[in-house]
Amino acid sequence: MKTSFILGAVTVAGLTAGAAFAGTLDDVKARGKLNCGVSTGVPGFAEPDANGVWQGFDVAVCRAVAAAVLNDSDAIEFVPTTGKTRFTALASGEIDMLARNTTWTFSRDVDLKFEFVGVNYYDGQGFMAKADLGVSSATELDGATVCIQTGTTTELNLADFFRSNNMSYEAVPVETGSEAVTNYLAGACDVFTTDRSALAARRANFEVPTDHVVLPEIVSKEPLGPLVRHGDNNWGDVVRWTLNALITAEELGVTSANLEEMSKGTNNPEMNRLLGSEGNLGEMLGLDADWAKRAIAVSGNYGEIFENNIGAGTIIGLARGVNAKWTDGGLIYSPPFR
Amino acid sequence: MSENNSFVRKEMISERIPPAADRGLVKWVRENLFSSAFNAIMTFISLWVIYSITVAVIPWFLNGVWDAKTVRECYDLLDGKSGACFAVLNERFPQLIYGFKYPSSEYWRPNLATVLLIVALAPILFRRLPRQLLIFSAVYPFLAFWLIWGGSILTSVSAFLGCAIAVICYRRFSSRSFALAVLISLIAANVWWIIGGYIVDLNASFLSLEVVASRDMGGFMLNLLLGTIAVCLSIPLGIALALGRQSGMPIIKWICVVFIEFIRGVPLITLLFVANVILAFFFPPDTSIDLILRVLIMMTFFNAAYIAEVVRGGLAALSKGQYEAADSIGLDYTQSMRFIILPQALKISIPGIVNVSVGMLKDTTLVSIISMFDLVGMIRGPILSSTDWNGVYWELFGAAAAIFFVVCFSVSKYSQWLERQLETDKR
Amino acid sequence: MNTSELARRDKFQFSMLLNDKRYRSYTFQFFALFILICAMAYLGKNLLENLAAAGLNISYSFLGEPAGYDINQRLIEYNSQSTHLRASIVGVLNTLLVAFLGCIAATFFGVTAGILRLSNNWIVAKLMMIYVEIFRNVPVLIWILIIHSVFLAFLPQPKAFRGENPEATMLWDAFAFTGRGFYIPKPVFYDGSFIVIVTFILSIVGIFAFRYYARQKLYLEGKLLETRWTSVGIFFIPTLIIYFALGSPIGLEYPELKGFNFKGGIHARGSLISLWFALSIYTGAFIAEVVRAGIQSVEKGQSEAAGALGMRPNFIMNLVILPQALRVIVPPLISFYLNITKNSSLALAVGYMDITGTLGGITLNQTGRAIEAVLLLMLFYLAISLSISAIMNVYNRSIMLKER
């Protein structure tokens, strides 16, 4: 008899009437919380700190969207997902958006019915090897043992790379990134392969980072970006233009320091449209006029987010490279706010 | 004459002590360690095994660093010596036990709930304790729910009252008909819950604790939570399944058989995959059910199928005479089950049920594979991939193993004790 | 007027569906079936609606598409251009491989520990008790992870075998135990090897035939034939003669250190070894308890009676105790074998590519076909379980017949 009591109690606790498919924007507003899918821990991109607060480059996108829609950058339910669970979590409506180092590919976009709203990091798959192995190029890796995290596009790229170079290899599939590193450091494999950004992050954590070299080859294109479900274009627009607002803010020189001042109105019409002192862009999205200002206020523009989480000043130490804004010769480019 | 026979001893001589080789420690050693050449060899091998383990582990353990902020600081303190970085346990202890999202100011709540759990279980586990304590056991689930999840106490009170009403209705009508009583009590409880729901909504802040979402549970607390709830829910379901499987009604029997064999035939991990990636597709399109609840459903099914098999064994062990005797005094099916068959069958099955339940508690670690942060998930995810504690492997898994060992070992010792108790009862 | 006549004379009324014991079970069953069908229909409807809303469908065509990923441990030919179906078959074979190896090793660990626990050597018995309790009371997932990291940390890597003064050396230049797995010599078959194998099989059949003949002779004529040395002779001599007569048609390929890794020989991957070891030592602890209980279940009187008849200790064990203990041991033993098979699905924690790792892992990730993949996965395990329980039922029936 006692047990049936618990059933009632747990049902009360677990049943959250919410929403899934139609009108995600309205659902999020009604719920007062954004359900955002993140990874279970990639240093610099998404990891809970010692207090359990999620931090990182991908997390910042979630926070910006939450601030734009809900006016509260903490009104987020972070849902940790693995490579296996991320797509079903999004498809089944458990999460509203996924910001988890996910590569934009044709089949994910078309066959799995997702909508990639943009690219927040241009990555490429690379290799890391111990310096004393004496390897200077990935083409010398014939016969090597390669540690790889399963459930990602990297294992397909790896197979393609070795096949097209007519080399043999031995894959050691590992479930989590930290276990891949453990295997690599213990010598269970000669080379560790994943996105170059993650390689840099892991290498920075090693006891003696200079004992390890990241090989120059980039074997794949990995445009990483947030994604939403197919079929809800309004919600897709909200996430897409929140990301674009962060990028445009950097381009226009809006930073978290001068945001208040700029939002009072300036001579630059695009900046005014972005920050809501001119035009009605927010209204078109179904938000208020200050949406972009709030998104930028959370942790600054794209450049600031980059520098604070994964930039040269952090332990990860990534250079902007192709992720510089287009005016600096990079690929980060936003359509105009008009 | 006898006086002169000097060869006749007049008094008893005292017993001599046995030869040195046949007494005390030496005798024990000879009998227990060196009784044959083979035994001597085995003894030396065992001693060597013990020695090598001690030599490897003791310095590592004794040199352990308990106070450091990061793994690098820890290695610096060790200065090249072999030693453990127990500092990680020190630093991340709350994360290991409560997960990383349970608010730290509220840790007293799960602690209290655990203490009360022991109090509530005591009268069920030890039959010598006063029966009145069972009332607390009945109240406990509601109290624990309030403590762990928070919110207003009225939610729990209302749920409890609903159940109490159901019990009272059942008592009132059970003399007439079992089915009628069940029906009436179900209706009464649900009516109360609907009314209660409105009352709770009006006074949502009455005696309210901070609400903690299911998703924020983690660490060993999550293991205990999943294990306890799944076990509690699966016992009645398992008994029902076992009765269904024994039943003479072919359709009911086959439904139960298919269910039990299907669940027992697949690994728990595939059921967790179902909970994680498939189950959401089977709920109505406008609802989403928490992952923890979906996992609980699957774990309950899983455990129930195993308990059903244990109970079926208990039912089969009863002699046919018991069933026939119950029939012959005119008891109907419900009565004979309630008063004659189940009390005996369950008594036989209790050790088996406890074993299955320990297995369930151990299997809750599998949720780490579907990205839930239980004890193992916490270690493999946030802690090991954090910059500070990258590569501290042994200490963390050793601690996890130790925690599980303490809990599971005590439960299995209890089960053995109970088995002996029940054996003496039988004679 | 007896009851059957009464029953016949009763007219059927609707209230009898609820009140009459003869019809009530039909009502119950009808309702149970009705509820079941309703529940199924409801879940099915939800599924279809959800799939339609997400724009997905149920299709198994992905099985025919190229998988695109590589699998290191494989028993059949496979490359990244093979289909997902073939990848799944590789996974199935890997599951069966680790389960088979695990069952053998677990039986070995379990029987050894179970018998030693009853040993009159105090220290051995206590050690075995500690082994059993420690392994039984800690989750198997934790054991798999710990044992995997033990292998990683304590076994030398191929690099250690290199150089003038290597830190590690190969055993007899034929076996290499590294953190990447075990390398053992591989038999190579040349022309004529077939004849040698056939000879070998024939001589094993011959041994059984000879033993059968000797037993018949003993029972019928009371003549005791020497069997041990004759068996050894039949085992070795014909095969060796044929082997050398054909000019050694079976050779061994030794593993050699080339480039990054050892090449040649059979390579049992580290993940296979650690999963195998972890599963078998964990299940061995349970088997030990069953073996102990089985031996203890045989009454002491049995062995004393056998002793009184003048039987020697090993005969008492083999002919009196074990046959009776086995009746208690075998049914739970088989369910532990089943557990090993099911627990082998935890392979993905160490990256061993079993069916959960291929079909339920990478294939599921790459194609996103979660429902189809998990369904196939469950069907596979179900098929294995049901066939093992079928075997168990046959066995149970066979020992029941012997009971008098």
pLDDT in tens, C253-300: 777 777 777 777 788 888 899 999 999 999 999 999 999 888 888 888
pLDDT value at position B418? Answer: 81
Q: Which of C46, C134, C141 to mutate to test the interface with B (most CBs of B within 10 A)?
A: C141
CA distance A324 to B296: 47
Instruction: Please report residues of A whose CB lies closer than 8 A to that of B91.
Output: 50
- For residue B219, the cross-strand partners are B374
Task: Report whether A245 contacts A309 (CB < 8 A).
Answer: no
pLDDT value at position C92? Answer: 93
Residues in Cβ contact with A178 at an 8 Å cutoff, skipping those fewer than 6 apart? A41, B380, B381, B384, B385, B390
Residues in Cβ contact with A11 at an 8 Å cutoff, skipping those fewer than 6 apart? B293
Q: Where do the domains of chain A lie?
A: 20-122+224-328, 125-220
* Nearest one of C380, C358, C387, C395 to C86, comparing CA atoms: C358
Has residue A16 got a pLDDT over 50?
Answer: no
Q: Which of A5, A93, A177 is facing B142, going by the closest CB pair?
A: A5
- Nearest C-alpha in A relative to B101: A52
Q: Do A41 and B215 touch (CB under 8 A)?
A: no
CA distance C132 to C126: 10
**pLDDT by residue (tens digit) across B93-121?**
888 888 877 887 888 888 888 888 888 88
**What separation in angstroms does the CA of A334 have from each of A45, A244, A248, B200, C171?**
21, 5, 6, 50, 63
Please tell me if residue B221 touches chain C, with a CB cutoff of 8 Å. Answer: no
Q: Which CATH number fits domain C84-185+254-402: 1.10.3720.10, 3.20.20.80, 3.30.110.70, 3.40.50.880?
A: 1.10.3720.10
Using CB atoms within 10 Å of the CB of residue B22, give its burial: 0 to 12 exposed, 13 to 18 middle, 19+ buried. Answer: exposed
Q: Which of B44, B45, B46 to mutate to test the interface with C (most CBs of C within 10 A)?
A: B46
Q: Do A10 and B296 touch (CB under 8 A)?
A: yes
Please tell me if residue B288 touches chain A, with a CB cutoff of 8 Å. Answer: yes
Annotation: CATH topology of A20-122+224-328? D-Maltodextrin-Binding Protein; domain 2 (3.40.190)
Report the pLDDT averaged over residues A71-90. 83
pLDDT value at position C194? Answer: 80
On the CB side of C254, CA atoms within 13 Å amount to: 9
- Nearest C-alpha in A relative to C348: A175
CA distance C250 to chain B (A): 39
Task: Please state at what angle helix A291-299 crosses helix A302-309, rounded to 10 degrees.
Answer: 20
Residue C16: pLDDT band (50, 70, 90) is: low
CA distance C339 to C283: 8
C66 residue type, one letter:
P
**pLDDT by residue (tens digit) across C83-101?**
899 999 999 999 999 999 9
Residue C18: pLDDT band (50, 70, 90) is: low
Give the H or E element holding residue C251: strand C250-253
Q: Which of B43, B269, B400 is facing C123, going by the closest CB pair?
A: B43
Integer Rg of chain B from CA: 30
Has residue A172 got a pLDDT over 50?
Answer: yes
Question: Would you list which residues of chain A are within 8 Å, Cβ to Cβ, of chain C?
Answer: 20-21, 83-84, 87-88, 91-92, 108, 111-113, 133, 141-145, 150-152, 155-156, 158-160, 163, 169-175, 182-183, 186-190, 229-231
Please give the CATH superfamily to which domain A125-220 belongs: Periplasmic binding protein-like II (3.40.190.10)
Written as six digits, the tokens of B104 are 């730290």
Has residue B400 got a pLDDT over 80?
Answer: yes
Q: Do B252 and C32 touch (CB under 8 A)?
A: yes
Give the H or E element holding residue C188: strand C186-189
Written as six digits, the tokens of C393 are 């039922």
**pLDDT by residue (tens digit) across B266-322?**
999 999 988 888 887 888 776 667 788 889 999 999 999 999 999 998 888 888 888
CA distance C276 to C340: 10
Mean pLDDT of chain A: 83
What values do phi and psi take at C132, rounded to 5? -65, -45
* Nearest one of B107, B104, B100 to B382, comparing CA atoms: B100
What values do phi and psi take at A147, rounded to 5? -85, 135
Q: What angle do CA C368, A44, A213 make, to 5 degrees?
A: 95
Please tell me if residue C146 touches chain B, with a CB cutoff of 8 Å. Answer: yes
CA distance B66 to B88: 8
Has residue A27 got a pLDDT over 90?
Answer: no
Report the pLDDT averaged over residues C219-227. 79
* Nearest one of C175, C348, C267 to A145, comparing CA atoms: C267
**pLDDT by residue (tens digit) across A89-134?**
888 788 899 988 888 988 888 878 889 999 989 988 889 998 888 8
Report the pLDDT averaged over residues B49-63. 88
Residue A282: pLDDT band (50, 70, 90) is: confident
Task: Return the higher-pLDDT residue of A6 and C61.
Answer: C61
Q: Which of C68, C157, C260 is facing A159, going by the closest CB pair?
A: C68
Mean pLDDT of chain C: 83
Q: What angle do CA A324, A329, A333 make, to 5 degrees?
A: 60
B3-62 residues touching A, CB cutoff 8 A? none
Give the H or E element holding residue A148: strand A144-149
Using CB atoms within 10 Å of the CB of residue B362, give its burial: 0 to 12 exposed, 13 to 18 middle, 19+ buried. Answer: buried
The owner of tokens 């991939």 is B385
Residue A9: pLDDT band (50, 70, 90) is: very low
**pLDDT exceeding 70 applies to what percent of chain B?**
95
On the CB side of B298, CA atoms within 13 Å amount to: 24
Predicted complex ipTM: 0.86
- Nearest C-alpha in A relative to C68: A156
Whether the domain at A20-122+224-328 and the domain at A125-220 fall into the same CATH topology:
yes
C333-372 residues touching B, CB cutoff 8 A? 342-343, 345-346, 348-349, 356, 360, 364, 370-371
Q: Do B283 and C360 touch (CB under 8 A)?
A: no
Q: Which of A87, A150, A172 is facing C362, going by the closest CB pair?
A: A150
Q: Do A6 and B167 touch (CB under 8 A)?
A: no
Q: List chains adjacent to chain C, taking adjacency as at least 3 C-beta pairs closer than 8 Å.
A: A, B
B359-398 residues touching A, CB cutoff 8 A? 369-371, 373, 380-382, 384-388, 390-391, 393
Report the pLDDT averaged over residues C370-379. 90
**pLDDT by residue (tens digit) across C116-170?**
888 888 888 899 999 999 999 999 999 999 998 888 888 877 777 776 666 667 7
pLDDT value at position B138? Answer: 80
CA distance A184 to C351: 14
pLDDT value at position C288? Answer: 93
- For residue C252, the cross-strand partners are C187
**pLDDT by residue (tens digit) across B344-372?**
888 888 888 888 999 999 999 999 888 78
Q: Do B290 and A41 touch (CB under 8 A)?
A: no
Has residue C60 got a pLDDT over 50?
Answer: yes
The owner of tokens 């690098």 is B72
Per DSSP, C182 falls in state E
Q: Do C370 and B408 touch (CB under 8 A)?
A: no
Report the pLDDT averaged over residues B155-161. 79
CA distance C360 to B381: 21
Q: Which of A26, A92, A309 to mutate to test the interface with B (most CBs of B within 10 A)?
A: A92
Please tell me if residue B69 touches chain A, with a CB cutoff of 8 Å. Answer: no
Has residue B425 got a pLDDT over 60?
Answer: no
CA distance C351 to chain A (A): 5
Q: Where do the domains of chain C lie?
A: 13-54, 84-185+254-402, 199-249
